[in-house]
Amino acid sequence: MKANYVRNAKSLLMATGLAALLLSVSSGRAFAQAADPNVVVDSVTGDVDQNEVDTFISFMTNVGGKNANAAFPTNALGDNLAYGTPGLNLEAINYMYRITGDLMVANPSMSLEHMQLMNLGIAWSENFILLRNDQAKGNHQVMWTGNVDHVWQTYATSTSKAGYAGSENGDTAGHILYTACALWPSISLQEQLAQASCRERWPSGLKETLTNLGG
């Protein structure tokens, strides 16, 4: 399972557009150089290393103002949360969260990065939830059903297709659910959820999803 996560980690940098890999061979070993110098892929083989994780987090938190795509989206138009950069960002964060969980077995110091990625996943998921049509940052558009449905808008309110909603909503919900699925297996997190001081940090939509998963 760990090997699979390692392969996913190396590929997610490409899949999210964070690092278009330019491969070369040196002394019989393949190395990778990120197209964006702010993202580092030290090697396409072996475990994900500390430097790769740290630069990924820095990139995803826009340290130094070097990644405009690290900003939270302000709407869901054009299926942005499903197929666009925001959706890929959240998926990549959740991949890295699971990967660092594996790496912590041999490298306990990775727990700091693990917690940073957890917080990032929660923050992005909360933003996605709040952009839903019926939520605080949604447009409260009356959809084709005649209701202000629990969906993410594809087309702007001012257009003739504003009432449309389709299966792409499942992809957006899936990104949020991935956060829940990645976090829930941790017993310590379940214990934290029972504490009022921690519950206040969790967005209600994600908290409900986690609670439902726990039966």
pLDDT per residue, tens digit, the chain (215 aa), is 444 444 455 555 544 444 333 222 222 333 333 446 677 888 888 888 889 999 999 999 988 888 888 999 999 999 999 999 999 999 999 999 999 988 988 888 899 999 999 999 999 999 999 999 999 999 999 999 999 999 999 999 999 999 999 999 999 999 999 998 887 766 455 555 555 444 454 455 555 555 544 44
Q: Is residue 45 part of a domain?
A: no
Residue 26 lies in a domain: no
- The count of domains in the chain is 1
Whole-number Å distance between alpha carbons of 145 and 127: 25
What range does the domain containing 153 cover? 56-213
Q: Does a structural domain hold residue 28?
A: no
* 54 in Cβ contact with 41 (< 8 Å): no
Rounded Cα–Cα distance for residues 209 and 184 (Å): 10
For residue 51, being part of any structural domain is answered with no
* E strand spans, the chain: 22-26, 29-33
| 112 token code pair | 């700091």
The reply to whether 68 falls in a domain is yes
Q: How far apart are CA 168 and CA 189, in angstroms?
A: 30
Is residue 94 in some structural domain?
yes
* Strand 22-26 relative to strand 29-33, pairing: antiparallel
Q: Quick check: 163 and 143 in contact, CB under 8 A? A: yes
In a domain, 140, yes or no: yes
Q: What is the pLDDT of residues 3-62, one digit of tens each?
A: 444 445 555 554 444 433 322 222 233 333 344 667 788 888 888 888 999 999 999 998
pTM of the model: 0.75
Does the residue 14 lie in any domain? no
Find the helix packing angle between 168-183 and 85-103, rounded to 10°.
Answer: 20
Residues ≥6 apart with Cβ < 8 Å to 3: none
Task: Return the amino acid letter for 207.
Answer: K
